[in-house]
Amino acid sequence: MSMVKLTKTEKRIAFRQKVLDLAGANIMRCYQCGECSGGCPESAVMDLLPNQVIHKIQLGDESVLDTNTFWICSSCLICSARCPKGIDIAKVMESLREISLRAKKSYVTLEALTKEELEELPQIALISSFKKQTS
């Protein structure tokens, strides 16, 4: 069977569409107001803020999967409640976890965390991250 080779642009569009399909959220409506990040209790330890994650997805930038943000997210739903555009950002984070796990990309493991990270990371975020990998 011949493999269809996607161009860079097609790959970006396909990645964005995958997130849209899984999250059921129209992230294209985001206008970067930052309300989601402003209320996120875990933002201090995230590689990218929630609004930055949304922007990367809008661009179809798969490098968002290499960040810790969606693993740190504790699914508290504050961002989703604050978004003036009705975007369910927590669901977007969930879809990134799903894509990452399906692709067998690395995720948070106790062994990989440094002593400093273990001291700094919010315990609730760690616990929810581990739980997400077993559910």
Could you tell me the smallest distance in angstroms from the CB atom of residue 129 to ligand SF4? 11
Contact call for residue 87 and ligand SF4 (CB under 6 A): yes
Residues 105/32, Cβ–Cβ less than 8 Å: no
Report the 10 Å Cβ neighbour count for 121.
20
Residue closest to 52 by CA, chosen among 79, 28, 73, 34: 34
Write the interaction track for ligand SF4 spanning residues 22-41; mark x where CB under 6 A is met and - where it is not. --------xxxxxxx--xxx
Q: Which is nearer to ligand SF4, 79 or 121 (CB)?
A: 79
In the chain, the amino acid numbered 34 is: G
Residues near ligand SF4, by CB under 6 A: 30-36, 39-42, 50-51, 54, 73-79, 82-85, 87, 89-90, 93
